Structure 1
Amino acid sequence: MSFPTRFLQLRKDNKLTQPQMAEKVGIHITQVKRYEAGQAQPSIELLKKIATAFNVTTDWMIFEEGERDLPDGLQLKFEAVSQMSDEDQRTIQSLIDGMFLKHTASQLQRVG
């Protein structure tokens, strides 16, 4: 679902009119209408304000279902890492950081 759809869903799920939604979020009703119609996108600060007001995450408001999910193999590995000692987690973080640097360097070589 896109932001306009989620924004509208929040309003309807909470049985709010557009004026009530505007008041709850602290924006003008015209802006509510523009968001619902997909004619405008909120600022990051406003996204945070909406998420806080309705107890949802900003990820839920802007990403499609599953768009940010990890592949199952990685998800299981990260869950296992979360059970390790702090020292082992720092070591794994360093390894991941090193792989990111290696990947970025190879990308830069291809461009340059």
Structure 2
Amino acid sequence: MNTSKIIADLRTKKGMSQTDLANNSGVSRVMIGKYERGEASPSIEAAKKIADAFGVSLDYLVGEGLNSTFDKKTVKRIEEIGLLDEEKKSTLFDLIDTYIRDAKARQAYS
């Protein structure tokens, strides 16, 4: 997925107008429109402002990298899991594995 589509999709998903995104990011509405139409690519600085306005990482905004599918809240949770002691991590991973297994089973039978 390209950055222009990601920006447009995120904006729609968040219920924001281009003006809302411009106001929240400090990037002009005209440039937001150009980014969404693929007429221009945001600079790193503009991309960072847009990512911050959406609450996502730069990886997510450009659709590349290890964290490209995670928003900032998810990345923060993963970082915090890494700080837990091994016993608590093991318990948490068992719980996550159970939820994943159940979701896959429901999906297989639907």
What does residue 39 of structure 2 align with? 39
TM-score by structure 1 length?
0.53
2:59 is paired with a residue of what secondary structure? helix
What does residue 55 of structure 1 align with? 55
Cα distance between partner residues in 1 of 2:52 and 2:32? 17
What does residue 6 of structure 1 align with? 6
What does residue 23 of structure 1 align with? 23
How many Å apart are 1:36 and its aligned residue?
A: 0.6
Is the Cα contact below 8 Å between 2:2 and 2:62 reproduced in 1? yes
Percent identity over the alignment is: 34
Once the two structures are superposed, what CA deviation does each residue of 1:52-77 show, in whole Å capped at 9, x if it has no partner?
Answer: 2221111111135xxx45xxxxxxxx
Across the two proteins, how many residue pairs are aligned to each other? 67
Larger Rg: 1
RMSD: 1.8
How many Å apart are 1:29 and its aligned residue?
A: 1.4
Structure ranking higher on relative contact order (CA contacts 8 Å, 6+ apart):
1
The runs of 5 or more residues in structure 2 that have no matched partner are 67-81, 83-110
TM-score by structure 2 length?
0.54
How many Å apart are 1:8 and its aligned residue?
A: 0.4
1:36 is paired with a residue of what secondary structure? helix
The runs of 5 or more residues in structure 1 that have no matched partner are 70-81, 83-112
